Amino acid sequence: MVQQSAAPFIIAIDGPAASGKGTLARGLASHYRLAHLDTGLLYRAVGLALLTPAGSAVRLSPDALRQQLDPDQAAAVASQLRLEPLQDLDYQAQLRAEDVSIAASLVAAMPAVRAALRQLQVDFALHPPHQAGDPSGAVMGAVIEGRDIGSVIAPQAQVKLFIIADAQVRAERRHRQLQQLALANAAATTNSQPTAAQPTVERILADIHARDASDAAQMAASRAAAGQVLDNSRVTPAELTAQAVAYSNPHFRAWHGQPLDL
């Protein structure tokens, strides 16, 4: 019987916002039976905690929020964050809200927050949990998606992917996600309070261009560290996953101690 390496098998997925990292990561985690971590949820969790002091929602404009966010408080929240609550689907739905996204992008720019969350991510990479429903441990490893994954969080990753997509496509994709989330929230709630207006595609596109500009240096470093760049502009999720699997399979076989010509 072939023996897998003692080190976990890690697939690192980097790329800009709304490039399709999450869908790909879930597909690869299922295919290889690996644990999955969306590191963006960590920053969203910090952002949500700052948006809801004492459990009461506060809705602010981005400029007002930027003025009111306390870096020390954000770092304190980040230092106490745990991964287990992120598995709750209802909590994940809260983390996908548009205002939480804005707060997350602001706290993610805080060095103290990034430092506080870095070790949590590194520990997940070094000691990934068993995939849910598979306690055998036959395959141990993780698919980790987000920013600086292949270059900072898991430079030892056997597979490093960088996902790109046209900005217009990403804006339309994000708009659809927000619409679906709004419908899901409306179906789940019984209160009569009006829901917040959804941002237009044009506004989302402007936000994406601004974020791409601010993240340019970071993205360049992550892309340079990647072993494969995949363009998700004009392919289906299944096609993108197939491309990633074709690239990852030789690395997985080598890690698992199998001949590469199988």
The domain locations on the chain are 10-256
pLDDT tens digits for 112-140? 999 999 999 999 999 998 754 455 555 58
Provide the pLDDT confidence category of residue 155 given band limits of 50, 70 and 90.
very high
Torsion of CA 7, 11, 14, 15, to 10 degrees: 180
pLDDT tens digits for 42-75? 999 999 998 865 444 445 556 666 667 788 999 9
Q: Give the pLDDT confidence score for residue 3 in this predicted structure.
A: 53
| Residue-averaged pLDDT of the chain | 85
**Global confidence as pTM:** 0.85
- What radius of gyration, in Å, describes the C-alpha atoms of the chain? 19
pLDDT tens digits for 207-237? 899 888 888 888 999 999 999 999 999 999 9
CATH class in words for 10-256:
alpha beta
Residue pair 163/233 in contact (Cβ under 8 Å)? The answer is no
Average pLDDT in the 137-163 region?
91
Q: From CA 103, how far away is CA 43, in angstroms rounded?
A: 8
- Bridge-partner residues for 228, per DSSP? 161
pLDDT of 245 > 90? The answer is yes
Residue pair 42/107 in contact (Cβ under 8 Å)? The answer is no
Distance of CA 176 to the CA centre of its chain: 18
Q: How far is CA 103 from CA 42, 164, 258, 262, in A?
A: 12, 23, 45, 47
Compute φ and ψ for 148, nearest 5 degrees: 60, 25
pLDDT tens digits for 68-104? 778 899 999 999 999 999 888 889 888 987 778 888 8
Compute φ and ψ for 11, nearest 5 degrees: -110, 115
Q: Give the pLDDT confidence score for residue 58 in this predicted structure.
A: 46
Which class for 141: exposed (0-12), middle (13-18), buried (19 or more C-beta within 10 A)?
Answer: buried
What percent of the chain has pLDDT above 70?
82
pLDDT of 205 > 60? The answer is yes
